[in-house]
Structure 1
Amino acid sequence: MSERPQPLKAINKFFDGKEPWQIVTLTASSVLALVWAHSLYNGKETPTVRLRKEFFRWLRRVPIVRRKIEEKMSEIQNDFKKDVAKRLAGVPINRHLPENGMPSERVVEEIRDHLSLGAYDWKGGNVSGAVYHTSEDICRVACDAYALAAYTNPLHADVFPGVNKMEAEVVRMAANLFHGDDQCCGTVTTGGTESIMMACKAFRDLAYNNGISNPQMILPTTAHTAFDKAAQYLGISVVTVPVDPETLTVDVNAVKKAIGRRTCMIVGSAPNFPYGTMDDIEALSDVAVEYGVPLHVDACLGGFVAAFMPEAGYPVPVFDFRLPGVASMSADTHKYGFAPKGTSVVLYRRPEYRHCQYTVTTDWPGGVYGSPTVNGSRAGGLIAACWATMMYIGRERYVRMTADILATTTYIETELRKIQGIYIFGKPATTVIAFGSKEFDIFAMAELLHKKGWSLNALQFPSGVHMCVTHAHTGAGVAARFARDAADAAALCRRSARAPADGKMAIYGVAQNISDRSLVSDITKHFIDSMYYLPKPEDLEK
């Protein structure tokens, strides 16, 4: 008989003299340890992230720590509620249906009153992003179209075939803008987040079809947070890769190293939201072709600007279906497409990708049910308004508006670069200009601008703020006023460089220094709760 292998001899020797219960305990413990280690490796999060979360989860169970956190959270909740009560002071609160309906004139009057509650002059161009144009003629056309189609539903294709036609035309016009061929296809969604989620769903299901049970997607750290939301909803693992600290574009070599057998998609931004820099989509396309993985290009923010930039006299790198590795794109018609809020497009190189986006139920008693996007019933009015906007503006005006926006962006960037004490993050590719400071607290500067009526987007890791330039900023004197206010705010910050930010901007400085990110998550949840808070009379009196 052949001699036992050395590993078996070692195992037998290890168990020599041990009681049966000891052998069972050691075996079970070893199996559980292996399962735990496997779950760390194959989980939705990296082992480092999971271990850190476990550590803080156990720390929060310590009674004194738990009490302190609960006290602070209660204080934060009350502060959020006080802010809401202050904003709504003097405004009637409706908790029940009116016994008798309001006259239409009163309804319109109350809506106008509600729209005036905010602290920012968004019509005057004081807001970063958010409102992408204030042209009255475009608004009128879009709103008239919405009113006509407000009660239509493209789910019922036989009842509303015209709405389906308009959706198909929006998709085809967008596909042609981004140089898709006749096979290029897609759908209209409710916004960039849904477009991104649909692409993630499509490539997750494609991975399932190819035998990958736990797919991963590879994202730059600057990729939009909608990808993380998609991962949470759809059960996809995320691998994040760094960006170059100077250019703030994705490290293509890091993407290559991160690709593995579970990779279902890689992502590039054109441009990204935080810094407005554009990833090297051509290099990512080469990687996608080399490794046989789909590349999704997120052009939600600047896609409808970048498409017209060459004709407007502003060069932009190729980022669309002209590159063979680009499998899908997302672009928001309700941003620089100037349609009302609530529409975006997700586009695919081939119909089989779009098929993976669909959901179909074949055995429901209510009949065979299929829908292209997250929603079943969809707002035909939004599709009609998007179609009307694109048809009304036309290519020539899109190019002209793009030229105006880019001229304004260039002016603001030039003026910001002149300001002592701040620096620009990377090279803005389209309309987003991000800036920070190594001399003073940039959030203190942002708070000063806030007090002057400007609403900017705060960034973290590192601290910064950005201005997303829209057509609303092309109005007479708006850009010059912003540049002047930014210079004055920076000068004041330089004179008191050690002074920290106060007001709402102070939250961002504090939040990024909290090691336990679950606390930041809890604070954010309380803030979202406050959006649904209706003060009672006694709260308003306080």
Structure 2
Amino acid sequence: MDFLKSCINKKFKNDEPWKIVLKTVVASGALYGAGCLASEIRENGLGETVLAIAKKTPIIKDIIEKELAKVKSKAEEMALTSKEVLEYKVNSELPSKGVSREVLMKDLTKWEEIERSKYSRGQTSGTVYHGDRSLADFAGDVMKMFCLANPLHPSTFPFVQKMEAEVVAMTLKMFQGTSKDHCGLTTSGGTESILMAMKAYREKGYAKGIRRPEIVACVTVHAAFDKAADYFGMKLVHVPFDRRTYQADISAIKNAVTRSTVVIVCSAPCYAQGIIDPVEEVASFIEENDLDVGLHVDCCLGGFLAPFVRIMDERKGLPKFDFSVKQVTSISADTHKYGYSPKGTSVLMYASRELRRMQYFTAPRWTGGIYATPSAAGSRPGAVIAATWAVMMHMGLEGYMDASRKIMQTADTIKKGIGGIEGLEVMGDPQLSVIGIRSTNPDLNIYALAYSMGHDKGREWELNSLQNPSCVHICCTYMHKGLGPKFVDDLRGSVKDVLENKAYYAKKSSVAIYGTTKSAPGSLVGETSKAFIDALFKLPKVKPEESKS
């Protein structure tokens, strides 16, 4: 310490006091700025940080704005590509006189037929999970009966309240949530389930004095966790996946946990490659280190498939992912996917009532009365809850088991078939319905392959193009039953076509949204995405004389 004092005194001995103060302020400011810059780089990456600074420079800003103008124009074209929609009159204001039901039903019937034709052939990845017309009509009949019901008013709609509680109870039983503490609620979909769960963990973190609670999750988790962190002022700490298994890297998870961590997230399965993360290993890490952190398992995609696959004799190797793992504190599972209920419903489950209460909102002093809601919405559609209950009761254990078996037969056929196609491989060991496919041949562009599968020689398969790493996937549903051999044959044909027509497919693959944005900084891709969303709410330009109604 004496040596340090001596050095400082020697350095400033000839300076006037004001200069010493000024140098101190400048040095402190420089250190603070460097610290902020380092923090930005750690959180957003070097490319994003440099771009953010560059965008404030007038010349760079002008260049970026010109490029964004082109991007926005292209995004509008992408959003408004349906020629069928352009054939109909655009309504930008209320009609002066109400339109008859007969006229409206004529248009609505036609529109529904057009949209149904796009998925009824059974070659769309995910999207529609059952597709049986009689089941859809049954759910629609139930929704019609309860179309005015609102769970916000339980005294007026007691049977909707009853059905909602039973949907939660049945789902809890599927996930081994059998103790008196296990509880849950319904939401509008997987995203809201994830948002509400993270909100609960944030509140728990605040109660512990954590100023910015952290979520630890693999980069393969659903983007709704990014949304939750953004909405609720949390920090999402992404960890990598194992390059061989595509599971969350358990070592990276252990290294990422800090005193500010409130929850670790595992997927069962993840959206991209359909891989189940090592839930039991994460749980053991939490238990062995006596950590006061939650463990959320996101089963939004496979929630109403995995429990039934688990009890099939031939699937005994499926890892544990539910409340049978003691450290699991919450689970999200969508009823509107493999539960076959109407969009949008999901169930969010907790291991304790105390944690569930942390997601609630109350306004006890509001002039309109005491206001309290369990989730983000106030009024909620009782019709969807009633239809979900009715579908679950109608399907029963036997119905879900039968559907799950057929789905897994298709998935197994596709996985085995891909193994016999040179230049392609299945990513990791997907144990449910989602199969990630990557190219092992540098000459085989995976996005070109997806284009060929969707557009050439009548194949009409709609696959999901993914990124980081470049790949595609198919999410097998009940709609795909019996189509496994056709998919494999079409995939083999597409591989052959892409390799034999490289010049043609080089142009086609460039329009794949993930293929063209993969190397661009995230903020520019974000602007492109926002322009696309803007375009979805933009009325199409249709000449009155060209419209049908």
Question: Above 0.5 in TM-score?
Answer: yes
Contact 2:220 2:270 in 1 (8 A): yes
Distance in 1, Cα, partners of 2:236 & 2:37: 13
CA deviations over 1:161-218 (Å, ceiling 9, x no partner):
2211111111111111100122100110000011011110001100111111111110
Distance in 1, Cα, partners of 2:45 & 2:514: 24
Q: CA deviation at 1:64?
A: 4.6
* Aligned residue among 418, 438, 443 for 2:447: 443
Amino acid at match of 2:49: E
Q: Which residue of 1 aligns with 2:498?
A: 493
Distance in 2, Cα, partners of 1:539 & 1:481: 44
* Aligned residue among 466, 471, 478 for 1:464: 471
Distance in 1, Cα, partners of 2:150 & 2:33: 48
Matches within 5 A, 1:168-317: 168-180=165-177, 181-289=179-287, 290=289, 291-313=291-313, 314-315=315-316, 316-317=318-319
Distance in 2, Cα, partners of 1:116 & 1:6: 85
Query: CA 1:501–1:228 in 2, change beyond 3 Å: closer, same or farther?
Result: farther
Distance in 1, Cα, partners of 2:235 & 2:434: 29
Q: Which residue of 1 aligns with 2:11?
A: 14
Which has the larger displacement, 255-264 or 20-29? 20-29
Q: CA deviation at 1:466?
A: 0.3
Distance in 2, Cα, partners of 1:123 & 1:529: 29
Query: CA 1:502–1:66 in 2, change beyond 3 Å: closer, same or farther?
Result: farther
Contact 1:421 1:494 in 2 (8 A): no
Contact 1:85 1:539 in 2 (8 A): no
Is 2:98 aligned against 1:101?
yes
CA deviations over 1:460-511 (Å, ceiling 9, x no partner):
111110000000111x5x3332222111111111224564251675332120
Matches within 5 A, 1:456-535: 456-474=463-481, 476=482, 478-497=483-502, 499-500=505-506, 502=508, 505-514=511-520, 516-535=521-540
Query: CA 1:422–1:167 in 2, change beyond 3 Å: closer, same or farther?
Result: same
CA deviations over 1:389-440 (Å, ceiling 9, x no partner):
1111111111111101111111111112211211111111200011011321
Q: Which residue of 2 aligns with 1:77?
A: 72
Q: Which residue of 2 aligns with 1:325?
A: 327
**What TM-score do the two structures reach when normalised by structure 2?**
0.92
* Aligned residue among 393, 398, 401 for 2:400: 398
Contact 2:509 2:515 in 1 (8 A): no
Matches within 5 A, 1:52-91: 52-83=47-78, 84=80, 87=83, 88-91=85-88
Matches within 5 A, 1:423-434: 423-434=425-436
Equivalenced residues, count: 533
Distance in 2, Cα, partners of 1:86 & 1:385: 30
Contact 1:267 1:297 in 2 (8 A): yes
Contact 2:447 2:509 in 1 (8 A): no
Distance in 2, Cα, partners of 1:390 & 1:40: 53
Q: CA RMSD in A?
A: 2.2
Matches within 5 A, 1:44-59: 47=42, 49=44, 51-59=46-54
Distance in 2, Cα, partners of 1:216 & 1:300: 21
Distance in 2, Cα, partners of 1:490 & 1:480: 16
Q: Which residue of 2 aligns with 1:146?
A: 143
Query: CA 1:286–1:505 in 2, change beyond 3 Å: closer, same or farther?
Result: farther
**What TM-score do the two structures reach when normalised by structure 1?**
0.93
Amino acid at match of 2:341: A
Distance in 1, Cα, partners of 2:415 & 2:309: 17
Structure 2: give runs of 5+ residues left out of the alignment.
Answer: none
Query: CA 1:85–1:183 in 2, change beyond 3 Å: closer, same or farther?
Result: closer
Contact 1:89 1:540 in 2 (8 A): no
* Aligned residue among 156, 161, 164 for 1:164: 161
SS at match of 1:130: coil
The share of aligned pairs that are identical, in percent, is 37
Distance in 2, Cα, partners of 1:295 & 1:320: 11
SS at match of 1:214: coil
Contact 2:216 2:257 in 1 (8 A): yes
Q: CA deviation at 1:326?
A: 0.4
Q: CA deviation at 1:149?
A: 1.2
Contact 2:433 2:475 in 1 (8 A): yes
SS at match of 2:73: helix
CA deviations over 1:326-361 (Å, ceiling 9, x no partner):
010000000011111110011000101001111112
Distance in 2, Cα, partners of 1:224 & 1:18: 58
Query: CA 1:538–1:148 in 2, change beyond 3 Å: closer, same or farther?
Result: closer
Is 2:344 aligned against 1:342?
yes
Amino acid at match of 1:186: G
Distance in 2, Cα, partners of 1:228 & 1:5: 50
Distance in 1, Cα, partners of 2:41 & 2:70: 33
Which has the larger displacement, 10-19 or 439-448? 10-19
Distance in 2, Cα, partners of 1:455 & 1:69: 33
Query: CA 1:15–1:161 in 2, change beyond 3 Å: closer, same or farther?
Result: farther
Distance in 2, Cα, partners of 1:202 & 1:230: 11
Query: CA 1:361–1:40 in 2, change beyond 3 Å: closer, same or farther?
Result: farther
Query: CA 1:33–1:382 in 2, change beyond 3 Å: closer, same or farther?
Result: farther
SS at match of 2:395: helix
Contact 1:40 1:50 in 2 (8 A): no
Q: CA deviation at 1:538?
A: 6.0
